[in-house]
Each structure stands twice: as structure tokens, then as C-alpha cells.
Chain A
Amino acid sequence: MLKIIIPTTMLIPLTWLSKPNMIWINSTTHSLLISLISLSYLNQFSDNSLNFSLLFFSDPLSAPLLALTTWLLPLMLTASQNHLSKETIARKKLYITMLTLLQLFLIMTFTATELIMFYILFEATLAPTLIIITRWGNQTERLNAGLYFLFYTLVGSLPLLIALLYIQNTTGSLNFLIAQYWVKPISTTWSNIFLWLACMMAFMVKMPLYGLHLWLPKAHVEAPIAGSMVLAAVLLKLGGYGMMRITVLLNPLTGQMAYPFLMLSLWGMIMTSSICLRQTDLKSLIAYSSVSHMALVIVAVLIQTPWSYMGATALMIAHGLTSSMLFCLANSNYERVHSRTMILARGLQTLLPLMAAWWLLASLANLALPPTINLLGELFVMMASFSWSNTTIALMGTNIIITALYSLYMLITTLRGKQTDHVKNIKPSFTRENALMALHLLPLLLLSLNPKIVLGPIH
């Protein structure tokens, strides 16, 4: 694990000591090399996990998430180069430092063995993200967005700390690998119900669950591009990952306690998909679509069947790449038109045909076109939830249709039709932007050739 942690930590001195015209080159190169090292963790055993030390381990669930996290840092750096070009050198270096620090905390969170360490780093990821949103966001609403983001997550996760300390006191260890084998079934007493709630609410807020999702559209919209990318691609998956870990300790109570959250998720995914159809703000549309996709992951984790866990893992990775790509596409529009309103920049296909190709592929991935892993995840979750209760197929099917509707709506509004007058003088796509989209899409397409590495520990 140190072979990833130390290079990531060293990215910070690298940034500060680089010459001003080399900061982007150096940080992008080295973060790409770190992501290459993290791919080695995908060589997993099936029964056991890769145990690096007492502090860190990686199993087939956390290894793909780790690879996603480390892959995202160079993409974030590439995406941020334009909007930071006017800042002073110190500010640029500070931005890169924030991103690197966030990356470091995320790497350690995904591989933490001890659940208290996981909790501390889970909270620690809030700090750089808050700084990125509130300092480098573009509109005045960013302060409100930062507040919502911070306090929703903190209020949700403080009970988790208490619950973890309680489990430590009763079970004796919060080392996840040991706790798996020491699990005693917990009965349905009031205190156990509160324990269950305390453990799960942090991750429900993070996912986010439909009723607790208010922070997400604000935070995603107001964040600068790197902030939006990391929020959508990785921070949401922290919730899913945490839930998949903590439910190991909470059986069989999950079978009864999960009902309200399942109802909220099933209903919420339809509601948020429908809200997407009514959005005028492009980033807000993508943010709500994130809520919708993550609701599927919540359903999958709560019904706890082998196929649903496989679907949840695949969905998390797929959504990470797709959502991040959509935010980058929206950002490429924003940098030209300086507005997030969709109808202001219409008809871009004739002006930017290659970018239109990326828009098409990203939207097709978003609506879970076969053979992408988006489809794989959604299909697995659908089948598992059908076996849990036949009625859910109606809701899932409706969600899939509405997802297709808003993805096509987004595509048609931004690409097709007659251009507005003021987009006629926009600059052609840069190589940087095309490279960014390709670097998002190619891993997604390659994964559809070999999905078994993202299907998680059950496969």
C-alpha cells in the first residue's frame, strides 16, 4: 500500500517545488504513473483479500474503487487546467495540493482495515472538498452549497462514530477482516435498531438517499470541474462502499430495517429521474441523474443478495466514469458559453462534431446501453430486486425508461437543432478536452470486455 500512499503524498512537494510552467506536466505524469501501480491491486484472490499490513487491505470490492480514484486524479488535473490559467501560481499549486490531499484520503479510506480509521478518513475527505467548492466555485451560491455538503454529511456521520465505538467495546475489535468472522446475529431490540440506523445514516446521506439528497445538486453544481468530478465519481461511492462493509456487522436486522430505505430509494430513483426531465441547468441534470443511479446501488446493497452486490459494484465503477465524463462535457460547454443553461448552447453538433461524438457515447453509457458495465450493473440489480419482490420490476422499468428519456433529452438539447446565434464564435475543441473524454470512455469500454474485475467480492 505504501507504494501508492507515498507517491501520492510526494505529489504535494512535487507541485510546490516544480517550476511554474511544469506544475501541470509533472503532476499529471506522476498521477498517471500512480494509477498504473494501483492497477496491480486488481490481481485479487477469491477467498481472501490482499492483506498488506495491519492497517490496509484490498479486496475485490475496494480494488476497482481504488483504481477509479487514482485514475481520476490526472483527469481532474487535465480538466482544471483551463479555468485555473488566470490564477496566480500559488493558487494553482494550492488547488493541486487540495486535489492530491483528497486523493490521499480517499485511497486510505478505501483500503482501511480498521473501521475507525475508515471513519476518520471518511470525514477527512470533507475538508479538501469543502475548500475546493467554496474557494474555487463560480457563483455566490457556492457558500450555501458548501454548508449543505458539510453539515449534511457531518450530521449523518456523527452517530456512526458512536456506533463504531460501541461495536468496538462490545465486540473487541473493529478490524474489518476479523469482524467478518466474529459477527453475532443482532436481535431486534430498540437499541439495536438505533445502532443500525446510526451505522447506516452516514452512508445514506453520502450516497445520497432520496430524502437526504438536497446537498448533492447544490454541491455538484457549484463545485468547479475537478470538484464535480471527484464528488460524482468517488465521494458518492464512499457511501456505497461503507454500506457494503458495515452491513456485514448488522445482520439479520437489515432484513427488517431496510424497508423504509428501500421504499425511499425505489421511489426516489423515479422522482429524481423525472426531475432530470425538467432541468434547465445542465450540471443540475447530471447531478440528479447521479442520485438516480446511486438509488439503484442503495437498493442493491440493502437486499443483500450475491447478484445485487455484483451489480452494485459494477454500477459504482460504471457510474463513476460516466458521470465524471458528463461533467467534463458540461464543463467544456461552460468554458465557452459561461452559462450552465442547456438551451443557451444548442446545436453544437455541427460546430463541434467530435465533441458531439463524446456527448453521444457518454449519454449512451448513461442510459445503460449494452454491452457497457452500466447495463450489467443495472440488470443485475433489477433481477435481484425482482427476486426480492416482484413489484419492483415496475418501478425499475419505469426508471430505465425515464433515464433513457432524460439522457436523450440532454443529448438533443445540447447537440441537435439550430444553433443559437451566440455560439457561432465558440472556439473549436482542444486536444486536451478530447483526450480527457477518451481517457474517461476507454476504461469504460475496456471494462465491458472484461467485467469480472469490477463485479466485486462475490463473483
Chain B
Amino acid sequence: HGGRAVSLCARRLWAVAATRGLPAARVRWDSSSSRAVIAPSAVAGKRTPEPAVRWQEDPDVEDENLYEKNPDSHGYDRDPVVDLWNMRVVFFFGFSVVLVLGSTFIAYLPDYRCMGCGPPHVYPRASASRMQEWARREAERLVKYREANGLPIMESNCFDPSKIQLPEDED
């Protein structure tokens, strides 16, 4: 009597589990005290498969996790050898060749852009950049020399006055 009530409850629970998608029994269980039985559902095909919803947190099914097969992946390719060589190639040619050698090339570019070449005046015209570094070095050298020898750093005459030949004053 009590066993039949329990078994009815058990079957009802099982039916609920079967129709509402709660985890179902995987193996058959027989109660030792009653005639209650829980068995794999015969209606398994009619249940919705689990998980019922896809969450945003789950990794996208189409996304391939490159770290799964190759934990040392550099992100270039699935094949570990190609991936490694691609990384090496990018780093060698990108950093060691172009950035380092290129920067060295740029750093050693001459500073004397062609002085005194080109037509007289054309818009636009670059002026201040010619031999700038030389001009600075030369100025520092001259200042040092003149200060050491007590000469004035600059004279107010642009040209040597003795070399200017003026015509005679005519009355």
C-alpha cells in the first residue's frame, strides 16, 4: 500500500523529469524496499536535448581556439611548425631587419640637403633645413674658439669694412 504510493510518486516524478527536461536517469534503479523503479526514459527522443539555450558566455561554436591543439600557439596558424616559422619571420624581418636597419639608415641620413641647387625662387622653398647640424656644430666651435681667445663672439659688421670700396664723394 505504502509501496504502491511511493512507486506512484516515483513514476510521477519520473514523468515530470521526462517531460520537463530535468536530468533523467542513466541507469536503471530498483528500490529495495518497494517496487519503485527508475529507468532510462523511453521518451528520450522526445525531450529537448541539453543544454537548451546557448549563452553568450559559451565560446562561439565556429570559433576555433588555437590554444586547444597547440598551447604554444602564436596565433598565426593551426599547424605548429608553420605557426612558429611565421612568428619568426614576422619578428625577424619586421623588427630586426626593417625597424633596426631602417632606423639606422634614417639616423645616418646626411644633413646637407643640396645647398645651392635648384632654380632661384620657386614656391614652396625649404631653407632652414640645409646643413643644420653642421651649422650648429660650426657655431659651437667658433664660439668656443672666440671665447678662449678673448675675441668678441660676433662682430656687428656683416662684411669686413676694409674690403668695401665706396665711390669717392663728389661734391
A residues touching B (Cβ–Cβ < 8 Å)?
21-22, 24-25, 28-29, 32-33, 35-36, 39-40, 42-48, 60, 71, 74, 78, 81-82, 85-86, 180-181, 248, 306, 309, 338, 421-422, 424-425, 427-428, 430-433, 435, 438-439, 442-443, 446, 450, 452-453, 457-459
Contact B93 A33 (CB under 8 A): yes
Contacts of A452 in B (CB 8 A): 129
B120-134 near A? 1/0 per residue, CB < 8 Å: 001111101110000
Contact B102 A309 (CB under 8 A): no
**Which residue, of A35, A39, A47, A422, has the highest number of chain B Cβ atoms within 10 A?**
A47
Please name 6 further chain A to chain B contacts, defined as beta carbons within 8 Å, in addition to the given A86-B64, A338-B63, A430-B76, sorted by A numbering. Answer: A45-B113, A46-B114, A74-B93, A452-B129, A453-B109, A457-B126
Contacts of B97 in A (CB 8 A): 32-33, 36
Contact A36 B118 (CB under 8 A): no
Which chain B residue shows the least CB distance to A19? B82
Contacts of A60 in B (CB 8 A): 126
Within B117-149, which residues are at the interface with A (CB < 8 Å)? 117-119, 122-126, 128-130
B residues touching A (Cβ–Cβ < 8 Å)?
55-57, 59-60, 62-67, 73-79, 82, 85-87, 89-91, 93-95, 97-99, 101-103, 105-107, 109-110, 113-114, 117-119, 122-126, 128-130
Contacts of A42 in B (CB 8 A): 106, 109
Contact A459 B129 (CB under 8 A): yes
A sample of 24 cross-chain residue pairs with beta-carbon separation below 8 angstroms, ordered by A number, consists of A21-B77, A24-B86, A25-B82, A25-B89, A33-B93, A36-B102, A39-B98, A39-B102, A45-B114, A45-B117, A74-B90, A82-B75, A85-B64, A86-B64, A248-B123, A430-B73, A430-B74, A432-B90, A433-B75, A435-B87, A439-B95, A439-B99, A453-B106, A459-B128
Contact B117 A48 (CB under 8 A): yes
Given A430-B75, A432-B87, A433-B75, decide whether A421 and B109 contact each other with a Cβ distance below 8 A.
Answer: no
Query: In the complex, what distance in Å separates the CA atom of A427 from the CA atom of B113?
Result: 51
Given A46-B113, A85-B78, decide whether A74 and B129 contact each other with a Cβ distance below 8 A.
Answer: no
Main secondary structure of the interface of A (DSSP, over half): helix
Query: In the complex, what distance in Å separates the CA atom of A43 from the CA atom of B102?
Result: 12
Contact B57 A40 (CB under 8 A): no
Shortest Cβ distance from residue A44 to the other chain B in the assembled complex, whole angstroms: 7
Query: In the complex, what distance in Å separates the CA atom of A35 from the CA atom of B117?
Result: 29
Contact B126 A459 (CB under 8 A): yes
Query: In the complex, what distance in Å separates the CA atom of A45 from the CA atom of B115?
Result: 9
Shortest Cβ distance from residue B126 to the other chain A in the assembled complex, whole angstroms: 4
Shortest Cβ distance from residue B57 to the other chain A in the assembled complex, whole angstroms: 4
Query: In the complex, what distance in Å separates the CA atom of A354 from the CA atom of B99?
Result: 21
Contacts of B87 in A (CB 8 A): 431-432, 435
Query: In the complex, what distance in Å separates the CA atom of A443 from the CA atom of B60?
Result: 36
Contacts of B118 in A (CB 8 A): 47-48
Contacts of A446 in B (CB 8 A): 99, 103
Given A40-B105, A422-B55, decide whether A46 and B129 contact each other with a Cβ distance below 8 A.
Answer: yes
Contact B86 A44 (CB under 8 A): no
Which chain B residue shows the least CB distance to A44? B113
Q: Which listed residue (B93, B117, B123) contacts A32, Cβ 8 A? A: B93
Which chain A residue shows the least CB distance to B75? A430
Contact A442 B99 (CB under 8 A): yes
Contacts of B102 in A (CB 8 A): 36, 39
Q: Which listed residue (A21, A39, A45, A338) contacts B82, Cβ 8 A? A: A21
**Which residue, of A86, A432, A452, A459, has the highest number of chain B Cβ atoms within 10 A?**
A432
Q: Which listed residue (A22, A74, A422, A458) contacts B56, Cβ 8 A? A: A422
Query: In the complex, what distance in Å separates the CA atom of A452 from the CA atom of B109?
Result: 11
Given A32-B98, A42-B106, A47-B118, decide whether A21 and B79 contact each other with a Cβ distance below 8 A.
Answer: yes
